Each structure stands twice: as C-alpha cells, then as structure tokens.
C-alpha cells in the first residue's frame, strides 16, 4: 500500500485497509494528521483520540493502534481525560490569566466586531485550538488541557456563586480541515476556479459522539466541494460558503464584518420566512475565507460560524445535568428509541434538531416544522432536542444558538420557558451511550418584537487565541516529489512488514552503487536498483546513444539518438532523476583504459589515460558497490583490480548470446589483517580449509573474480573479429534477466551478516536452510536461456589470476599508474609472465605431450 493508498483509505473511510499499513517509522506526522482529521468519521467504527502526542508516530504506538483498532476498541486513546474540577490543583498555571466573570457572552465568543474578548475565553479558545490539531508536543497539549479544565472549573464556581441569574454559554466550533480538503481546493483552483473569486458552496459536517475532552469540530474534507456528497453516517451536514481569494492582500483586506452580517441576514430571513423550519440546515451555516499559496503549499484560512445573539443573553432557569441523572434507564431507552424511529422515518442517520414530549416511560418526538401540531396544549412543557457536537457537561455546542433564536422568534411570545436536550450519542467499546447528553431549562427572551436582524458573532480565533487567520503548511504532504519518496519507501517497507520481517532495508537503500557501463545491462541494473530504493547511482560510459539502443536499453528514447546521440552516462542519470526525483544520479562520460589497448601514442593520450585512471579510482573509492556491466572482457580488468585493491564489493554481469554469468568477486580481507608476508596468509588459509572442501563452505574472501577462471590475460578482443562477434549480440531478454539478478545478488549479499565475506551458496544448498532472510548468497549465477536454467557454481580465487592475484595487486599498489600503463601498452604476455600463467601454459603443454605419448604407447 502506497502513501497515496493510505490517503485514499483515510479519505474514503476504508479503515480495514488502514490495518494493512505496516508498523513503520515512515508513517509520519503528516499521515497522522490525515488520520486525525478523519477522526470523527473513525468514531463510527472505532475511535481514537485526536490529541495524539508527537511520539505517536513511533512503531510501538502504531502497533498498539492497529491492535486496538482490530479489536474494535473505541476507548479514548493515550491522553488522560481532562481532570474533573475537584481534582484540579489549586495553584494558578503560569500562563493562564485569572478568569474573569463572563456570563452573557458565549464561551470563547468569536466576535471581531464586538469588543475584545475576555482573558477567560481567550484562554479557553487557545486550549481548544491546540486540542483540535495534532501539532506541538504532548506535554504542551496536556498542559493546555489542564488549563482548559481550570477555566471550566472557575466558570462553574462563578455560576454557583450567583445561581438563578447565570446566562447560557456555548462552546464554539473548531474548524477541522482535512488535508484532502486542501488538496481538492488546489485542484479546483488550478483547473476550475483559476482567477474566479466568486463565492462557492461547500459542505462540512459535525459529529456528536466524541469522547470527553475533544473540541466540537466542524470538519471539511475532500468531498466538501460536492454539495450532493453523502454525509458520513451519524453526522450532521452544514452548508457553507467558500471565499477563495487570488492574493494574500485581498485575503487580508476582505471585509469580514460585512460577510458576517450578510450571512447573519440570510439566517434571519430563513427564520422569519419559515424556510428554516422546513429545513433546519439553513441555520447551520458557515463561511470559509481562504488564500492558497500553491507554490509553497501554504493555506491561509479563516472560519466563521455565524450565530445570532440575544441582546441580553439567555437566562438559565435550571442548570444543565446529564441525562443519566435526570432519567431512569428505561426512560433513556425510550428516548433513544424515539430518536431512532424519527431518524428512520426521515431516512437520515442524524437530526440537527427535534421536538420532544415525554411522560413516564413514553417519549414522543417530531420535527421542528411540526411544532404547532406537536405542542397543541398551551400549558404543555416544551422540550427541544438538538444534535450537539459539544462535550462539556455544563455547556451546549454552537448549533443550539440559531435554533433558540428561531424558537424565540416564532414562539417566544407565549413560552415561559423551554427545556433543551443536547443530544450526545456515542458508541464506546461497542456500547451505545447517550447518558452524557445534557438537559437544562432556559427562558426565551422576547425576540419576536424586533424585526431587525440580531447582532451576530462567529469568526474563529487563530491558534494564538487572537482574531486572525490560521495557516496550514502542507508542503510535506502535497509536494509530489516528497509524495513519491514516501511512496517508494512505503512500498519497500511493506516487504519488511509481513514477507521478510528481518530485512534490513537500510543496508540496501544506503548502498552507493557505481555502474560501469550504461548499456543494456546498465539500464536494467539501474532500474532494479531504483526498485530497491537505492538512492545513489552513478554511471560511467563513454558511448553515445545510437538508434539501436532505445528498444533494448530502457533508459533511452528515440529523441536521445538525434544529432549524434547524447552521451549515455549523462542521459541515463538524467532519466533516473526524471523517473524518481528522490534519486541522486550522476553520469561520467569517460573511457576506461584497457589491457592491450595502448595509450602511449602521445603525451596527450598518456595524460588522458592517467586522468581516467585517477577518476575511476576516485569513483570506486566513493562508492560501496561496483557493477561491471561493460560489453568487453578487457574493460573489466582495470576496475576489477582497483576494486579488489580497495576492498569494494564487485558485482559482475556478462552476456553471451543466450547465456550469462552474474557473480560477486571474492572480497579480499582488509589489508591490516595480512601483514604482507606469505607466511601468515598460508597459516590463515590452512585454518580456513578445516571447514571447507573444494567447492563448499568457501568464504567470500577466498572466492574468485571474473578473471580467475581464465588462463589467458585480457587483451584486445575486438581485433580480428566480425561485427557480430564484436558487439554483444544476445537474446533481448537476457540483459534484463542478468541485470535484475545482479542487483538481487547484491541485495542478498548485503543482507548476509558477513556481507561480501559470506560463504558462497552453491546449487547443492538449494535444499538447505538459507543463510539470509532472502535466501541463498551464491558466488555465481550462470544462466542458460536455451534451457531456461540457472546453476550456481562456486570457484576459488586463482593465485595466478591476472586481476586479483597478490602479484597483480602488489604491483598496482606499489607502482600505480606506471604498472597500469605497462599493462595497457603491452600484449597479454606481460600479465601472463607476471602472474606465472606463461609458466603454467608451458607446463600444461608439456603435460599434454606426455599424455599423448602415453596414448601412443597403448
């Protein structure tokens, strides 16, 4: 599952798929923000606490999260619930201003037009704000939660001091904008709105089943732009208006007071005309003012939930009490049943408001529009139910405000008092609970007499608790390059999660790979390395791309062949960067000097050869693994010598027509372990031989190289050859097979605890317990495409090898370029003389003569 798939799973509420996400550190804060912003939707299946600490992206946390989620656990997560008033310490918190009495204004009133709000509401608001976001550290969050509880405690105290005359206060909404919302806004802005600033209709929703301690959130997600989109089950929809400005200036200079007045007037008109009675959704309006900086993925926004105000507040006749304290379980059950039946009748899963009549164990419910028929008896007790997103035992949520204004406007003149049920309906551990709903009685003022629109409040405060916009930086989630990176990583992590739990990906991803040759093999190796998440890939090649290349070499296209062709190494590096910008790819357009290809034509050619050697030495130094992917035998010689001397892992791949060999060169032991004299090395080898027979249990440092099996030194193989012999003409699939095997061999070697020193697995080991989580670590893979067969031979290092024998390495290490120049400029007899191959040839020939003479005697 990729990052995108996670986002999709979250956006579509597909929580089953979330359970498939690996326990990985890659699952970062930005994912979690998505999880959190989906919080309310999650509540329906299993809930999490949205105020997760930053440590929650650890493996342990995510593991617990998955397990609990799988068990269907919906209890509050991780953070202790806010302390009850009685449990609060009495010492004032350092940054909390002393609460001041604040009764007639709403709790945390969001009103820019009216005078500055009190410290009380500012503190509360800031606490809310931080609650609504998974930002900052756990400590500060807990502290703020703490402060919030203190403020609430102080308010309760104040209320109890002056009973009877307290005024109703409301918990404001907190905006919860999903990353998916911003993503969709970006798409709309780019493809549809462009410079159009006209208001757009959008849709949000709120939920009444949150655990204690959560702010009342109004959530907007990717579906907000589709007004006909289905509202999540058990959530209440809210219709809003989006004002997206083209510039930051117009965002700042927008007349917020005017916007609020306009929205308030619309609500007021809906109340007066009666349309709000038919459709109570008209009371749940909101506005969103935005500016999207799409270059930086910074989004500025300001939310507003217009609420009409009673000039003198709303006197509380009877303080709020939990439903569970007022009614018996059977009465509560009857209430629940009546609510469910009304929902069912209306074909919805949530009702924003409803009318209630109860008597003993019977509860009747009806819609707001049926008021006159429902409450026929003038002396009857009037109870209004409201779907309440709030969580506080003492305060109703914001949506009640406009409902009360409507009730006052229409029936206030003949109502002495109204009972309000703030319906809160949560399911915890599979058990539905509405007992924490609150019920209270208020007195409705004579609003009906005034024809003018009442004053309205509603702009949301920012994170600092002041009147100002908020900003969200989504560069991490929205930048496609980063998205690609985390997707690649996530894909690999999936392997570790179930299939190969012990896979050490870091060893693979951090491997710096040098690819000598950017032809058919080089292209296939590079692509497979990218698949493994390798981030450092360097090409060396001296050829240009020709017209025959693109069909077999997957990093090139026809365009690359035009006007002489681009240099392969550079074009390959460019293409890798295009395929995946997260890769660090480089190309070096240079030749590798070869034995039997003289460089002593002039001073210039000598200097060039010296430069090339120095460059190659430096490149091999700077990488961990050297891939030999050239198309001639002799071009592999120099890098094989340098890499053997520098103790770098070499992976070699070579093609025939329908055969290939992929091998790792033996990795010599570090130099300090061999003091240089042959005596000590013979001691170690005799000890090693105890556990190894000729072709089994051969440790990596005793394995041969590409040249070890040869009794002829490399020379100019292109001389005296026809065209089909000069170029590697092979079956087209062969390079991809061999290239892929070369990388897989590298990965297997890296997974072995001893790396390049790993004992070579042979074909005989196929039935044995594999040495790594990925299986065998062979020395060679020889493939025969005609038989669709691979074998895994193992061969020892040859003490007369022209590339890795101690004689050659000593000469190279002591004489450097002078020695190399001799090799380049001489025929192969030079190396053969040096290593003793010449002598061996003579002995062999002598032996053959003896054999033949034996035959003749028979």
DSSP state of 212: T
DSSP output for 156-186: HHHHHHSTTS-B---BPPEEEE-HHHHHHHH
- Min. distance of Cβ 816 from Zn ion in angstroms? 20
Parallel/antiparallel/unpaired status of strands 235-245 and 200-207 = antiparallel
Residues 384 and 374 sit within 8 Å (Cβ to Cβ): no
- Min. distance of Cβ 675 from Zn ion in angstroms? 22
- Min. distance of Cβ 796 from Zn ion in angstroms? 10
Q: Indicate if 235 belongs to the active site.
A: no
Q: Which is nearer to Zn ion, 257 or 841 (CB)?
A: 841
Scan residues 686-705 and list those touching Zn ion (CB under 5 A).
705
Q: From CA 182, how far away is CA 201, in angstroms rounded?
A: 15
Neighbours of 278 (CB within 10 A): 13
Q: Which is nearer to Zn ion, 404 or 705 (CB)?
A: 705
State the binding string over 522-561 for Zn ion (x if CB under 5 A, else -): ----------------------------------------
Among 580, 408, 359, 559, which Cα is nearest to 487's? 580
- Min. distance of Cβ 644 from Zn ion in angstroms? 8
663 binds Zn ion (CB under 5 A): no
Q: Contact with Zn ion (CB under 5 A): which of 27, 182, 300, 707?
A: 707
Q: Six-digit token pair at 474?
A: 């989504």
Q: Which residues of 159-173 are buried (b: 16+ CB within 10 A; e: fewer)?
A: beeeeeebbbbbbbb
Q: Which is nearer to Zn ion, 494 or 796 (CB)?
A: 796
Phi (first) and psi of residue 710, to 5 degrees: -100, 145
DSSP output for 815-833: HTHHHHHHHHHS-THHHHH
Q: Contact with Zn ion (CB under 5 A): which of 277, 526, 708, 794?
A: 708
Element (H, E) at 298: strand 298-308
Query: Which of the residues 254, 343, 453, 727 is marked catalytic?
Result: 727
Q: From CA 693, how far away is CA 84, in angstroms rounded?
A: 76
Among 221, 202, 360, 349, which Cα is nearest to 288's? 202
Which residues, in sequence order, are CB contacts of 773 under 8 Å at separation 6+?
500, 501, 502, 503, 751
Q: Six-digit token pair at 17?
A: 């798929």
Which residues, in sequence order, are CB contacts of 116 under 8 Å at separation 6+?
none
Among 486, 481, 233, 217, which Cα is nearest to 349's? 233
State the binding string over 801-830 for Zn ion (x if CB under 5 A, else -): x-xx--------------------------
How would you class 550 by CB atoms within 10 Å of its CB: exposed for 0-12, middle for 13-18, buried for 19 or more?
A: middle
Q: Which is nearer to Zn ion, 584 or 709 (CB)?
A: 709
Among 317, 503, 342, 335, which Cα is nearest to 434's? 335
- Min. distance of Cβ 765 from Zn ion in angstroms? 23
Q: Which is nearer to Zn ion, 663 or 708 (CB)?
A: 708
- Min. distance of Cβ 707 from Zn ion in angstroms? 5
- Min. distance of Cβ 666 from Zn ion in angstroms? 7
- Min. distance of Cβ 473 from Zn ion in angstroms? 56
Q: Which is nearer to Zn ion, 74 or 795 (CB)?
A: 795
- Min. distance of Cβ 673 from Zn ion in angstroms? 19
Q: Which is nearer to Zn ion, 738 or 804 (CB)?
A: 804
Q: Which is nearer to Zn ion, 137 or 799 (CB)?
A: 799
Count of positions on this chain that bind Zn ion (CB under 5 A): 6
Q: From CA 638, how far away is CA 650, in angstroms rounded?
A: 12
Q: Which is nearer to Zn ion, 539 or 707 (CB)?
A: 707
Window contacting Zn ion (CB under 5 A); options: 34-42, 505-513, 757-765, 799-807? 799-807
- Min. distance of Cβ 624 from Zn ion in angstroms? 20
Q: Which is nearer to Zn ion, 453 or 711 (CB)?
A: 711
Phi (first) and psi of residue 536, to 5 degrees: -120, 110
DSSP state of 544: B
Q: Six-digit token pair at 739?
A: 């290239």
- Min. distance of Cβ 605 from Zn ion in angstroms? 28
Give just the sign of the alpha carbon dihedral 195, 199, 201, 205.
positive
Q: Which is nearer to Zn ion, 269 or 833 (CB)?
A: 833
Window contacting Zn ion (CB under 5 A); options: 461-469, 555-563, 608-616, 796-804? 796-804
Helix (H, G, I), strand (E, B) or coil at 615: helix
Residues 578 and 527 sit within 8 Å (Cβ to Cβ): no
Strand runs labelled E in 443-562: 456-459, 470-473, 512-516, 536-541
Q: Show contacts of 596-602: CB within 8 Å, 24+ apart.
A: 596/634, 596/714, 596/715, 596/716, 596/824, 596/826, 596/827, 596/828, 597/634, 597/716, 597/824, 598/824, 598/825, 599/821, 599/824, 599/825, 600/821, 600/824, 600/825
Residues 314 and 445 sit within 8 Å (Cβ to Cβ): yes
Element (H, E) at 288: strand 285-293
- Min. distance of Cβ 10 from Zn ion in angstroms? 55
Residue 545 falls in which region: left (phi positive, over 0), alpha (psi -120 to 50) or beta: beta
- Min. distance of Cβ 802 from Zn ion in angstroms? 7
Window contacting Zn ion (CB under 5 A); options: 265-273, 402-410, 767-775, 797-805? 797-805
Residues 145 and 82 sit within 8 Å (Cβ to Cβ): yes
Window contacting Zn ion (CB under 5 A); options: 429-437, 708-716, 808-816, 842-850? 708-716
Q: From CA 728, how far away is CA 734, in angstroms rounded?
A: 11
Neighbours of 78 (CB within 10 A): 15
Active site residues: 727
Task: Name the site residues for Zn ion (rule: CB under 5 A).
Answer: 705, 707-708, 801, 803-804
């Amino acid at each position: 599952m990729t990052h995108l798939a996670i986002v999709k799973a979250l956006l579509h509420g597909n929580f089953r798929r979330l359970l498939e996400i690996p326990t990985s550190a890659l699952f970062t804060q930005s994912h979690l923000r998505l999880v959190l912003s989906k919080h309310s939707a999650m509540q329906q299946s299993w809930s999490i606490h949205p105020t997760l600490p930053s440590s929650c992206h650890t493996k342990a946390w995510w593991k617990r999260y998955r397990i609990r989620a799988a068990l269907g656990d919906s209890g509050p997560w991780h953070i202790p619930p806010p302390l009850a008033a009685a449990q609060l310490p009495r010492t004032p918190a350092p940054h909390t201003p002393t609460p001041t009495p604040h009764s007639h204004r709403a709790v945390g009133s969001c009103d820019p037009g009216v005078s500055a709000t009190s410290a009380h509401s500012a503190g509360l608001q800031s606490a809310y704000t931080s609650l609504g976001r998974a930002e900052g550290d756990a400590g500060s969050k807990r502290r703020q939660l703490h402060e919030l509880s203190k403020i609430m405690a102080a308010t309760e105290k104040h209320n109890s001091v002056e009973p009877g005359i307290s005024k109703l206060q409301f918990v404001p909404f907190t905006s919860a904008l999903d990353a998916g919302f911003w993503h969709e806004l970006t798409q709309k802005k780019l493809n549809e709105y462009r410079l159009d600033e006209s208001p757009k209709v959008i849709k949000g929703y709120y939920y009444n089943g949150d655990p204690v301690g959560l702010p009342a959130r109004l959530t907007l997600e990717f579906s907000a732009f589709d007004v006909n989109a289905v509202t999540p089950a058990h959530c209440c929809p809210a219709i809003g208006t989006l004002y997206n400005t083209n510039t930051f200036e117009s965002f700042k200079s927008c007349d917020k007071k005017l916007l609020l007045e306009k929205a308030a007037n619309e609500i007021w008109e809906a109340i007066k005309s009666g349309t709000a009675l038919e459709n109570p959704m008209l009371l749940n309006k909101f506005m969103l003012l935005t500016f999207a900086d799409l270059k930086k993925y910074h989004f500025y926004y300001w939310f507003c939930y217009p609420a009409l105000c009673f000039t003198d507040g709303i006197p509380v006749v009877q303080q709020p009490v939990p439903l569970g304290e007022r009614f018996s379980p059977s009465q509560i059950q009857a209430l629940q049943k009546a609510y469910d039946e009304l929902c069912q009748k209306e074909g919805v899963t949530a009702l924003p408001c409803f009318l209630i009549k109860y008597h003993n164990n019977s509860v009747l419910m009806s819609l707001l529009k049926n008021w006159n028929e429902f409450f026929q008896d003038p002396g009857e007790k009037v109870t209004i139910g409201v779907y309440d997103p709030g969580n506080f035992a003492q305060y109703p949520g914001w949506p009640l405000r406009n409902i009360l204004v409507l009730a006052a406007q229409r029936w206030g003149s003949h109502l002495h008092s109204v009972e309000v049920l703030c319906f809160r309906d949560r399911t915890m551990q599979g058990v539905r609970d509405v007992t924490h709903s609150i019920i209270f009685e208020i007195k409705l003022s004579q609003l009906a007499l005034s024809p003018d629109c009442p004053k309205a409040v509603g702009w949301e405060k920012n994170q600092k608790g002041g009147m100002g916009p908020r900003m969200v930086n989504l560069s991490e989630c929205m930048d496609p390059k980063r998205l690609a990176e985390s997707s690649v990583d996530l894909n690999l992590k999936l392997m570790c999660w179930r299939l190969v739990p012990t896979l050490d990906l870091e060893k693979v991803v951090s491997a710096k790979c040098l690819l000598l040759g950017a032809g058919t093999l080089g292209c296939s190796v590079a692509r497979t390395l990218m698949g493994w998440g390798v981030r450092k890939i360097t090409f060396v090649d001296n050829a240009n791309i020709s017209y025959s290349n693109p069909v077999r070499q997957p990093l090139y296209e026809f365009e690359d062949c035009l006007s002489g062709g681009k240099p392969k190494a550079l074009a390959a590096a460019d293409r890798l960067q295009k395929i995946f910008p997260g890769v660090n790819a480089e190309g070096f357009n240079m030749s590798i000097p070869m034995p039997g290809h003289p460089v002593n034509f002039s001073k210039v050619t000598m200097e060039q050869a010296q430069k090339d050697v120095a460059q190659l030495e430096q490149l091999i130094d700077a990488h961990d693994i050297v891939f030999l992917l050239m198309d001639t035998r002799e071009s592999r010689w120099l890098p094989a010598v340098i890499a053997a001397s520098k103790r770098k892992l070499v992976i070699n791949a070579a093609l025939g027509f329908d055969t290939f060999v992929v091998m790792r060169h033996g990795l010599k032991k570090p130099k300090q372990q061999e003091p240089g004299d042959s005596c000590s090395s013979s001691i170690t080898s005799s000890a090693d031989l105890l556990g190894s027979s000729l072709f089994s249990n051969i440790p990596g440092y005793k394995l041969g190289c590409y040249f070890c099996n040869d009794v002829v030194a490399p020379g100019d193989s292109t001389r005296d050859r026809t065209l089909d012999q000069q170029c590697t003409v092979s079956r087209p699939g062969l390079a991809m097979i061999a290239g892929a095997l070369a990388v897989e061999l590298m990965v297997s070697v890296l997974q072995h605890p001893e790396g390049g020193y790993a004992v070579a697995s042979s074909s005989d080991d196929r039935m044995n317990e594999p040495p790594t989580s990925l299986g065998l670590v062979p020395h060679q893979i020889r493939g025969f495409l005609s038989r669709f067969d691979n074998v895994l031979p193992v061969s020892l290092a040859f003490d007369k090898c022209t590339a890795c024998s101690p004689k050659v390495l000593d000469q190279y290490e002591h004489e450097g370029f002078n020695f190399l120049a001799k090799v380049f400029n001489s025929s192969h007899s030079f190396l053969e003389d040096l290593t003793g191959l010449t002598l061996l040839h003579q002995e062999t020939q002598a032996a053959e003569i003896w054999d033949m003479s034996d035959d003749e005697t028979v």
